[in-house]
């Protein structure tokens, strides 16, 4: 699993589990992002699937965000656009998926990981699932995930995360802002809560759920273009001397 993997399984109840894993705290290199977007799209179109659960492997890290090795390797605006477009593809795949997506956040979420948590339709977490938007600390900014995070928790809370880019916010804080619907004491109770909700949704009217999801995401119809524009901004900034030095310092810690 040196490059990570995306695993998909659907049980007899029509509950589809999409799990991503990477040895570097479930960080997301470009290949993994595209595999994740494709899996979400494919499962959303599967008539046997009633509801999706997005999760990651391991216990303490939900997602460490972008792959720093790939960030360092970016050598042109085109390469930067291609890399950051991976996050745009995943967010838009979740936005367009006609099925509800439940998020399972068992541990810390950083940068793009916060964007994933904000892009599912209903997110459940443990008390260990603190959050941080660290992009500004390395000279970029949460441009691609920003619309999803702002949609979920509002401009004020999103700006707090984006500006104070080195501080962790607790799972309880994230719940109060609306990122998490409920916070559980541990992974076992989290999984029980997810299963209970997923079973309820698997028995609900799929047409009603599809229409309801469309209502919830109303106003985001321009996100294919918007997130591409945001990816281009990040792709330019990552080439700056400031950002390259900041990433090198971060990797050296």
Tokens matching residue 27: 């960080």
pLDDT at 192 over 80: yes
Q: Report percent pLDDT > 70 for the chain.
A: 98
Q: Report percent pLDDT > 90 for the chain.
A: 87
Rounded Cα distance, 80 and 109, in Å = 22
Tokens matching residue 108: 């810390």
Average pLDDT over residues 61-83: 90
**In the structure, what pLDDT confidence band is assigned to residue 66 with cuts at 50, 70 and 90?**
confident
pLDDT at 245 over 90: no
- Check residue 3 and give its pLDDT: 80
- Tens-digit pLDDT profile for residues 4-41: 999 999 999 999 999 999 999 999 999 999 999 999 99
pLDDT at 42 over 90: yes
pLDDT at 252 over 80: no
- Check residue 237 and give its pLDDT: 92
Structure-model confidence comparison of residues 249 and 74, the more confident one? 74
- Check residue 164 and give its pLDDT: 97
- Check residue 2 and give its pLDDT: 64
- Tens-digit pLDDT profile for residues 130-157: 999 999 988 899 999 999 999 999 999 9
- Check residue 243 and give its pLDDT: 87
Tokens matching residue 177: 């802002």
- Output DSSP code: residue 9: E
- Check residue 244 and give its pLDDT: 84
Q: What angle do CA 131, 154, 41 make, to 5 degrees?
A: 70
Rounded Cα distance, 235 and 237, in Å = 6
State the chain's maximal CA–CA distance in angstroms: 54
User: 5-202 in CATH: which number?
Assistant: 3.90.226.10
Average pLDDT over residues 29-56: 97
- Check residue 144 and give its pLDDT: 97
- Check residue 70 and give its pLDDT: 87
Task: Identify whether the C-beta of residue 236 lies closer than 8 Å to the C-beta of residue 47.
Answer: no
């Amino acid at each position: 699993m040196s490059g990570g993997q995306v695993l998909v399984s659907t049980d007899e109840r029509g509950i589809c589990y999409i799990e991503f894993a990477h040895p570097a705290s479930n960080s997301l290199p470009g290949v993994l992002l595209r595999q994740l977007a494709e899996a979400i799209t494919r499962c959303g179109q599967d008539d046997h699937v009633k509801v999706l659960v997005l999760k990651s492997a391991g216990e303490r890290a939900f997602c460490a965000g972008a792959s720093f090795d790939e960030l360092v390797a970016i050598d042109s605006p085109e390469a930067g656009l291609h890399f950051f477009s991976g996050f745009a593809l995943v967010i838009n795949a979740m936005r367009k998926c006609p099925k509800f997506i439940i998020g399972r956040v068992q541990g810390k979420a950083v940068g793009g990981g916060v964007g994933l948590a904000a892009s599912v339709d209903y997110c459940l977490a443990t008390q260990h699932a603190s959050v941080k938007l660290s992009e500004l600390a390395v000279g970029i900014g949460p441009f691609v995930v920003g619309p999803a995070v702002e949609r979920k928790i509002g401009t004020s809370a999103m700006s707090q995360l984006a500006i104070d880019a080195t501080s962790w916010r607790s799972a309880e804080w994230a719940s109060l802002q609306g990122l998490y619907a409920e916070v559980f004491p541990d992974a076992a109770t989290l999984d029980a809560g997810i299963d209970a909700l997923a079973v309820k949704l698997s028995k609900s009217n799929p047409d009603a759920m599809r229409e309801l999801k469309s209502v919830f995401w109303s106003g985001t119809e321009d996100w294919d273009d918007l997130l591409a524009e945001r990816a281009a901004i990040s792709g330019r900034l990552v080439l700056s001397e400031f950002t390259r030095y900041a990433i090198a310092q971060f990797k050296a810690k």
